[in-house]
Amino acid sequence: MTVVTPADPDVSFVPENPKAFKHGFNRAYVETLAARLRAATSAFDDVAYFEALHSLETLELKARVQLIASALDAGLPLPFPEAVRVLVELSAGAVDDAQPTQLELGVWPLCAFVGTYGLGHFEASMSALHALTQRSSAEFDIRPFLVEHPERTLAVLDLFVTDPSEHVRRLVSEGTRTRLPWGRQLKAFIADPRPVVTRLSRLIDDPSPYVRRSVANNVNDISKDHPSLAITVCRGWLLEADTDARREIVKRALRSLVKAGDPEALSTLGHGLGRFAIEHFEADTEVSIGGSLGFSFAVQALGATAASTVIDYRVHYLSPRGLRSPKVFKLDTRIFEPGATRRYARRHPMRPVSIRALVPGTHRLELQVDGRVVCGTNFELRS
């Protein structure tokens, strides 16, 4: 029984995914876009447009988007305000406003055109991003303006906070994320995120779950550089109004700190105050690539009062360099009554994914309760 107290090999091949997003930006897409541009303006230059696209299908997703933006610049030999007006009109009414996606009609490269070529035309660019983000999130392409024109752009975002469109409001929270995946880092806000927090606080009670989830993700980014600030902000929001919606935001906002076992983050969410025992921990000793790792255990509450706890597990993946890299996986969050016992059984897939190859050798499984590792075992991964 474990009592919980504060305490170069071959790499498996990851095949190409035929459904990867990048394949949405293919030859058929650029030809369709060309036909629509041809119909929209006599200024469109077919030859220059297609010459700029010769390497399209050799590229990954973001590089394809950027190449198409470059092709739009080559194919629209117009002053930026005129060119962007053509693109905005091209996108208007093109998608279902209730279900916009970045790939539905390929509006993302139009946003990239603004972010790449519009820095010298601030008003026209802000107007264009306001329109385009309602059809394809402009979260990547507002960022150059936040870097080059921070005060002017923040002033525009202050107006966007109260926009009738949830997609425009979400641009405020998603576009200011300091560590947005695939996005340019906002180093000034990494150093001092207070201007971001000011805008997020105006969106904390947004009626749209889509916006509120983005607010939470933004604070989670902040927590990676300023954990104390993120916790203070979340506690302040709950002190103002401890609603279910706010508590859900705070739970998501502090998830990285909870995974890391930060005691202040755990206590903010009401966790980490109980004592538990781990019993009957068993796990497979070896598994083949493509198979799954089975493990089971029981948790018993030892305290005299009910206590909330977060139960996770983590796999330390062996890297090609012989080092181990841990990845935490969620298992359960629940309130245990005094003396209660709950049994768990899980099979964890050991399959290659696009972001992680699998290396044969000794890997490790650990159980984590309220952010603390309580027991673990090694296992062999076979090819």
Strand-strand pairing, 276-283 and 292-301: antiparallel
8 Å CB contact between 292 and 350: yes
**316 belongs to a structural domain:** yes
**CA-CA distance, 134 to 119, in Å (whole number)?**
20
Residue range 222-238: mean pLDDT, rounded: 98
Residue 338 located in a structural domain: yes
354 pLDDT exceeds 90? no
Q: Is the pLDDT of residue 9 over 50?
A: no
Give the confidence band of 298 by pLDDT, cuts at 50, 70, 90: very high
Q: Is residue 368 part of a domain?
A: yes
HEC per residue, 190-207: HHCCHHHHHHHHCCCCCC
Tokens of 28: 């058929």
What mean pLDDT do residues 95-119 have? Answer: 73
Amino acid 23: pLDDT: 79
User: What was the pLDDT predicted at 21?
Assistant: 76
Q: How confident is the model at residue 17 (pLDDT cuts 50, 70, 90)?
A: low
Residue 20 pLDDT greater than 80, yes or no = no
Report if residue 331 sits inside a domain: yes
Residue 296 lies in a domain: yes
Mean pLDDT of 325-351: 95
Sole residue written with tokens 């998501």: 252
Instruction: Please tell me the least confidently modeled range out of 12-16, 40-44, 165-169.
Output: 12-16
Domain limits for position 353: 272-382
Evaluate whether residue 172 is within a structural domain.
Answer: no
Using the predicted structure, report yes or no on whether residue 82 has a pLDDT greater than 70.
yes
- Residues with Cβ < 8 Å from 33, sequence gap 6 or more? 68, 106, 109
Query: Region 22-26: what's the mean pLDDT?
Result: 85
Residue 57's pLDDT band, with cuts at 50, 70 and 90, is: confident
Q: Look at residue 205 and tell me whether its pLDDT is greater than 90.
A: yes
CATH number of the structural domain spanning residue 354:
2.60.40.10
How many folded domains does the chain comprise?
1
- Answer yes or no: are the C-beta atoms of 271 and 258 closer than 8 Å: yes
Q: Are 287 and 382 in contact (CB under 8 A)?
A: yes
Tell me what the pLDDT averaged over the chain comes to.
Answer: 91
CA angle 46, 49, 53 (to 5 degrees): 130
Is it the case that residue 110 has pLDDT exceeding 70? yes
Look at residue 276 and tell me if it is in a domain.
yes
**Across residues 73-93, what is the average pLDDT?**
93
| Distance between CA atoms of residues 168 and 97, nearest Å | 12
